[in-house]
Structure 1
Amino acid sequence: MAKEECKALLDALNKATACYHHLVLTVGGSADSQNLREELQKTRHKAQELAVATGAQLTTALRDRGMGTEERAEFERLWVAFSGCLDLLEADMRRALALGTAFPLHTPRRPLVRTGVTGGAGGVAARALSARSLRHEAECDFDVNDLRELEREILQVGKMSHDMEMKVNVPRWTVQARQAAGAELPSSVGASSAGFVSIEERTAPCDLSKAIAATLFSAVLLAAVALAVCVAKLS
């Protein structure tokens, strides 16, 4: 049951990480918006929750010394896949931080034209505290706070990876895959096999009778050419 739970958590983490990667690619583009930034935050939090749960399950399983060899090898493969997900998640979070800093959605408003109109402090405050101004300030606060939160979460994901390395001694280069390289591409393998078959068919030994006929024809043709040359010399 523990292995199945780890697989289910890892599958959910893979999907959340892939979704986050897809969303990060649109930051700073024409599809960038406040809704996108909020969706990025939700997906990032979901991925981190799944990462914490998956890491706890794998750590508990791999620290069990009574586990069988085959079962431990399977958990080690899951751990390698989980470690790769963490690396990708951290890289995308750093990319999101860089893009979010370079392409802020909202910038502080600066008056470009001074009309010379002045008023009391109460009137100016009343005009400033309109619904639109409050919404704009809230959106600006969201951008600033989210980037600060993202910085802290990047450090947390890096610390999680480091803690996993310290608690579980599973060097990645010692883990063997269950399938050979390229085994997950059956269509390509099938196409290659078909190509080999067609080549073998083209290079198969030819029929013996056809080979003899071709040799006799070549000999007769050479004799005819030699005879023509002799006749031309004698004439």
Structure 2
Amino acid sequence: MAREECKALLDALNRTTARHHQLALTVGGSADSRALRRELRRTRREAQELAAAARARLTAPLRDRGLGGEERAELERLWAAFSGCLDLLEADMRRALALGSAFPLQAPRRPLVRTGVAGGPGGPGGSARSLRRLAERDGDGDGDADGDDLRELEREVLQLSDMIRDMEMKVNVPRWTVQARQTAGAELLSAASSAGPASVQERSGPCDPSKALAAAVFSAVLLAAVALAVCVAKLS
């Protein structure tokens, strides 16, 4: 029962980590927005909750020295997959932190392009400043939203790094010692072997002697034409 629960948790963590990876790649691009940052924050928190639950489920049985060989081997495979998910999550969180710092969403307080227009509250310059203040106010209601999100993300990155180091200290399962249950790409090879011959036979069908004879005659005529063209070229 514990092994099945660990598999279910790892499946959910794998899907959430993959979603977080796709969202992290979008930060700083043309689709970046405040809604995307919120979804990225929600997804990484969900991934951290799943990681904490999977860690609690896997740590206790792996530290049990009386665990059977086959069951221990299966849990070690799950632990290796779990560690890979955490490594990807940490790398994507660091990427999101770097991109979020380089591409803040909050509008700058000073314009990057100076037009030379200035004036009082009723002039053109005052209108531009009013529009800028409205944009900043309608953005989030918090002038330092980007800074708060980045500081929170930085703390979460450090917490995840500490959790990974703590895991390695409590459970000593080197990844290179984990035995896979099947060779790499075995599922793809089995699917191709089961579907390949039948599909080829269906496409090709039985051999037709008349078609084979026609193909042989056509090949002979083509070779004769090529030889004739070569002789003409040499004589000329």
TM-score (norm 1): 0.72
1:118-157 mapped onto 2 (5 Å cutoff): 133-136=136-139, 138=141, 140-157=143-160
Counterpart of 1:138 in 2: which secondary structure?
Answer: coil
Between 131-140 and 63-72, report the one with greater CA deviation.
131-140
Assess if the C-alpha contact under 8 Å between 2:62 and 2:171 holds in 1: yes
Assess if the C-alpha contact under 8 Å between 2:21 and 2:92 holds in 1: yes
1:51-66 mapped onto 2 (5 Å cutoff): 51-66=51-66
Counterpart of 2:186 in 1: which secondary structure?
Answer: coil
- Per the alignment, residue 25 of structure 1 pairs with 25
1:63-102 mapped onto 2 (5 Å cutoff): 63-102=63-102
Quick one: which amino acid aligns to residue 85 of structure 2?
C
Shift, 1:136, TM fit? 3.3
Q: 1:132 to 1:105 in 2, by over 3 A?
A: closer
Counterpart of 1:58 in 2: which secondary structure?
Answer: helix
Assess if the C-alpha contact under 8 Å between 1:21 and 1:92 holds in 2: yes
Shift, 1:133, TM fit? 4.6
Shift, 1:110, TM fit? 2.4
- Per the alignment, residue 226 of structure 1 pairs with none
Pair member with larger Rg: 1
Assess if the C-alpha contact under 8 Å between 1:105 and 1:143 holds in 2: yes
Counterparts of 1:142 and 1:98, CA distance in 2: 16
Shift, 1:116, TM fit? 3.6
- Per the alignment, residue 104 of structure 1 pairs with 104
Verify: 1:12 aligned to 2:12, yes or no.
Answer: yes
Between 98-107 and 4-13, report the one with greater CA deviation.
98-107
Counterpart of 1:154 in 2: which secondary structure?
Answer: helix
How many residues align? The count is 187
Listed one character per residue, the Cα deviations across residues 28-62 of structure 1 (whole Å, up to 9, x for unaligned) are 11211110000000001000111111111110110
TM-score (norm 2): 0.71
Name stretches of at least 5 consecutive residues in structure 1 with no aligned partner: 119-126, 199-235
- Per the alignment, residue 42 of structure 2 pairs with 42
Verify: 1:172 aligned to 2:181, yes or no.
Answer: no
Assess if the C-alpha contact under 8 Å between 1:33 and 1:105 holds in 2: yes
Listed one character per residue, the Cα deviations across residues 162-199 of structure 1 (whole Å, up to 9, x for unaligned) are 111100011111110011121131334557x74xx99x
Quick one: which amino acid aligns to residue 44 of structure 1?
R
Counterparts of 1:140 and 1:14, CA distance in 2: 35
Between 25-34 and 41-50, report the one with greater CA deviation.
25-34
Assess if the C-alpha contact under 8 Å between 1:106 and 1:139 holds in 2: no
